[in-house]
A and B are shown apart, each in its own frame.
Chain A
Amino acid sequence: MSDKPKFAMYWAASCGGCEIAVLNINEKILDFDANFEVVFWPVAMDAKYKDVEAMEDGSILLTLFNGGIRTDENEHIAKLLRRKSKLLVAFGSCANEGCVPGLANFSSIKDMVDTAYSTVSTDNPGNIRPLTSYDMPEGTIHIPTLNPTLKTLDQVVDVDYYMPGCPPESHQIAAVIDLVIQVLQGKAELPPKGSVIGAGPSTVCDECQRSRNVKTITSFKRIMMTEIDPDLCLLEQGIPCNGPATRSGCNARCPTAGAQCIGCYGPAEGVVDYGARLISAFASVIDATDPNEIDRILDGIPDPAGQFYRFNLAGSLLRSSKSAWEKEKA
């Protein structure tokens, strides 16, 4: 056993992009290896839950937890790692605010499973559904059970730091690892508990170089259906860019490349409900008073839930729709 500080990383309901982002820090990984002992990281090395359970409480210095809490297994590991870790970081959009898996909070489990197992794109002639327990000659085996809704990490356990992004930008990850190393060496101090780390204090607009004027929107357009002025604010051009409400930290990558910000860095500081903020902001700059004209303009956003809550539904004030929520109560 080395005496290096211990590190863990876990994926709950997530896509794996966060893990890739960590590896994308390139040669920085060597600094990381020099300073940490990896004790648990399912995607990178073999480990058993019982090994973690055997660890002393608080023995892991830093745990990066990505993914939302969708199953009883996710919840169990979240609570386990909370106990074992000094610093638990909600890493990436899923753990912070639910992200795309959180959009399932609009549906009941049954609707969600039906969609997954019997849509036109699924070849399932026996109309088979997964069972959470199955009797085998050797005994009963279990797979994790779905919770009624997806929760964010801090809706389940206490979280020390929040690191947003889908996934977090590699340069931000590198900076955070640098910071932790400096703290270990006594050269820096940790930010106050509950802080957002690895991101900026304001919004994507702050990092966006496009020029901005007073906004009046007469129609919403999709990027593939319009010619985009390379220098002008996308929202002003009617492209529904979520940058104004989204936390800075990504160097405005998407708007710089000519695509609208979709909001993966989550709500800016001071934003309580990301989608509601954007809805009222967009509504405020619609340049029409005639109700029919307003309807026409709004029809330019065909999927409002996906536009405004793609990343934030589980972390929003409402968290889930009634159909999902009612089942949870029962």
Chain B
Amino acid sequence: MTQHGETNPKSEERIGVYVCHCGTNIAGVVDVQGVAEWAASQLEHRGVVIGRDYKFMCSSLGQELIEKDIKELGLTRVVVAACSPHLHEATFRTACKNAGLNPYLCELVSIREQVSWVHTDKAMATAKSKAMISGGVERVIRHAPLEPLRVPIHPDTMVVGGGIAGIQSALEIADAGYHVYLVEREPSIGGHMAQFDKTFPTLDCSACILTPKMVQVGTHPNITMLTWSEVEKVDGFVGNFTVTVRKKARKIIEELCTGCGICQEKCPKKVIDDVYEAGLGYRKAVYTPFPQAVPKYPVMDVPNCTYFEKGTCKACEKFCPTNAIDFKQQDEILTLQVGAIVLATGYDLFDARRVTNYGYGRLPNVFTSLEFERLSNAAGPTNGNIVLRDGKTTPKSVGIVHCVGSRDRNFNNYCSVICCMQGLKFAHLVHERTGAIVYNFYIDMRTAYKAYDEFYQRVLEEGTLFVRGKVAEITDVARRPDEDGHLIVQVEDTLASKQRRIPVDMVILSTGLQPRYDAKETAKRFGLSCSADGWFIEKHPKLDPISTMTEGIYIAGCVQGPKDIPSSVAQGAAAAARVLGKIQQREISIEPVRASVNQDQCSGCRICNNLCPYNAISFVEDRAVSQVNAALCQGCGTCVAACPAGAISGTAFSNAQILAQIEGLMMLNLEEPVTA
């Protein structure tokens, strides 16, 4: 039986071991010189011919050291004991390649993240480094030269989400001459930005800066807009995705519709618009969400349409001058080929009802930030008049509560980034339009970024009152005569060190952002992962914030985490740059670390069939075996672990390699094995 076979065949390899100081990061805890000398002497019989330590292995001098040894000493394997492979595996592989050694014959041993950063006992840390290098040596002996896989790239791109991040991304790619499908599930592109009145800190009219971009998208020859559409399925892999999109029936024939708006005008059915107008206004059962909507075609709200409800009405059809209404229109399923995907699906507003002590939904004059955006919007339900829920009374005093649902262990721990500036913007708008007294209740004022703090100063100078403290409660139960008929904000003023009760007419909750309600499903559909909070996880939080662990799928905007408009735009453009970079390579090389099924050993038990997070496993019915699509596989190893027959093996992670590494870690490979 294989497991009892010879475990340590004599190594014919010539191995170089390189131990990095990483300045004092490693050398401060690990005796790096001792470790290098130990490897050269104690692992000599395993093929180690040289052990070196160096201040920064990743520097060009450090790399040259390795390259020189490969050439002069004829090294056939390289072990670098340094930081995590995430950081410098590529660096050292390239060094090997430059010296003519197959890059996959290099093994990285993480003695920084796994040793020096987590241990303080120097002797133990040094001993652990030796054990890990011993494991790395045993493993590298069993490495095989690999060649990266090359696959062609489809030049089309899909951008999912038509908010500002998605719009920017689509325009950048389309302007570069490549075709883009822009998928948006609402009837119009524009996203949240289309709902805002002003943007901070410049107080630009949101619509004025957004709508030209929307129009550009609508008329761009390289952009196919798929609004009122949703992605149902994603198959394939980087360069070759097959995306299934459901184009929901608008019940409007787009070729005939001129966007004249007569159908909306004539439609007798009024429906509360809880998407675009945040529940403050009405729309018709056939509607475009707002006047500048792109595309101009309306959609029919089937559940609310009188014809679909009662079988009679058809007012829209009667009055439509171009016969563009089609009650029988069905959903269309489109299958699209693209090479890359940008996900810019945005955020949902935190549901302020969850903070029951703030009374939203119970106390009429408590508003959410999105409601206030609509109130203050000149094109909104009140034509920009800031009034109480009765629709006519102008408030004389307004309280703005920061951090609603954010930085709160009961709800979301994270900071929603935009709420401080949003709260300041509201303060300014209330002040400017109503002259009311404005209180801002904040925990910390976070006004980082360009010209943000200057805006804070301006709002301070306008006379807005700032109270530092987390609001405990908003109530309409008066304790004093002056509180009668008001909302009372109960707050601990931490600067004055006292409890305060401040009566106001209106409260605006600066509600935080949270992941889309269906973010987890979306992540699964695209083969991505979400953080515990639900934001999509980037490949590297600092150095690669737009890539994901699934090659060819990029994220931009708030889907990755709360951010403001400039950052969303920057990410949209950055994602586009990454996509364009890929497309222009025409073909790409992908990591050859892949799972493969030994077809003779596979009995088709199908245990692996629905485990693959990348949908790379399929079942071949006629031969009753499972197989892995090498181009789809990302080498995660889930199926390798699950296969009960041991028929699936991972390149570079074979049983032989891992068991040898374990034996190396246990120092069983030494001439005098260490026993516990």
Chain A residues within CB distance 8 Å of chain B: 96-97, 152, 154-155, 162, 194, 196, 201-206, 212-216, 233, 235, 243-245, 248, 266-273, 277-278, 280-281, 283-285, 315, 317
Complex Cα distance, B3 from A317, in Å, reads 8
Q: Given the interface contacts A245-B644, A245-B645, A268-B645, does A203 sit within 8 Å of B1 by beta carbon?
A: no
B610 within 8 A of A: yes
Across the interface, do B601 and A270 meet the contact criterion of CB distance under 8 Å?
yes
Contact of A268 among B5, B601, B609 (CB under 8 A): B601
Across the interface, do A201 and B644 meet the contact criterion of CB distance under 8 Å?
no
Across the interface, do A281 and B655 meet the contact criterion of CB distance under 8 Å?
no
Can you sample 30 A-B contacts with CB below 8 Å?
A154-B1, A162-B1, A194-B1, A194-B5, A202-B603, A203-B605, A203-B644, A205-B605, A205-B645, A212-B605, A216-B610, A233-B605, A235-B607, A243-B605, A244-B607, A245-B645, A268-B601, A268-B644, A269-B601, A270-B646, A270-B655, A271-B646, A277-B645, A278-B644, A284-B608, A284-B611, A284-B641, A285-B642, A315-B4, A317-B3
Across the interface, do A244 and B1 meet the contact criterion of CB distance under 8 Å?
no
Cβ-closest 8 pairs across A and B? A270-B646, A205-B603, A245-B644, A281-B644, A284-B642, A244-B644, A206-B603, A244-B605
Across the interface, do A202 and B602 meet the contact criterion of CB distance under 8 Å?
yes
- Known contacts A206-B603, A271-B646, then 10 further A-B pairs from the complex at CB < 8 Å, ordered by chain A residue: A154-B1, A214-B610, A215-B610, A244-B605, A245-B644, A268-B644, A270-B2, A270-B647, A285-B642, A315-B4
Give the chain A neighbours of B5 by CB distance below 8 A.
194
Give the chain A neighbours of B2 by CB distance below 8 A.
269-270, 272
Across the interface, do A269 and B641 meet the contact criterion of CB distance under 8 Å?
no
B604 within 8 A of A: yes
B659 within 8 A of A: yes
Give the chain A neighbours of B655 by CB distance below 8 A.
270, 272
Complex Cα distance, B655 from A301, in Å, reads 27
Across the interface, do A277 and B646 meet the contact criterion of CB distance under 8 Å?
yes
B91 within 8 A of A: no
B255 within 8 A of A: no
Chain B residues within CB distance 8 Å of chain A: 1-5, 598, 600-611, 619, 624, 638, 641-647, 649, 655, 659
A19–chain B nearest beta-carbon distance, Å: 23
Across the interface, do A244 and B659 meet the contact criterion of CB distance under 8 Å?
no
Give the chain A neighbours of B642 by CB distance below 8 A.
280-281, 283-285
Q: Taking CB as reference atom, which chain B residue is nearest A247?
A: B645
Across the interface, do A203 and B607 meet the contact criterion of CB distance under 8 Å?
no
Complex Cα distance, B646 from A196, in Å, reads 16
Give the chain A neighbours of B4 by CB distance below 8 A.
152, 154-155, 315
Across the interface, do A272 and B3 meet the contact criterion of CB distance under 8 Å?
yes
Give the chain A neighbours of B603 by CB distance below 8 A.
202-206, 244, 248
Across the interface, do A270 and B644 meet the contact criterion of CB distance under 8 Å?
no
Complex Cα distance, B367 from A121, in Å, reads 76
Q: Taking CB as reference atom, which chain B residue is nearest A154?
A: B4
Q: Given the interface contacts A202-B600, A244-B645, A277-B646, does A284 sit within 8 Å of B3 by beta carbon?
A: no
Across the interface, do B598 and A270 meet the contact criterion of CB distance under 8 Å?
yes
Q: Taking CB as reference atom, which chain B residue is nearest A280?
A: B641
Give the chain A neighbours of B645 by CB distance below 8 A.
202-203, 205, 244-245, 268, 270-271, 277
B656–chain A nearest beta-carbon distance, Å: 9
A270–chain B nearest beta-carbon distance, Å: 3
Complex Cα distance, B603 from A248, in Å, reads 10
Q: Given the interface contacts A205-B603, A206-B603, does A268 sit within 8 Å of B646 by beta carbon?
A: yes
Q: Taking CB as reference atom, which chain A residue is nearest B605?
A: A244
Q: Taking CB as reference atom, which chain A residue is nearest B602?
A: A202
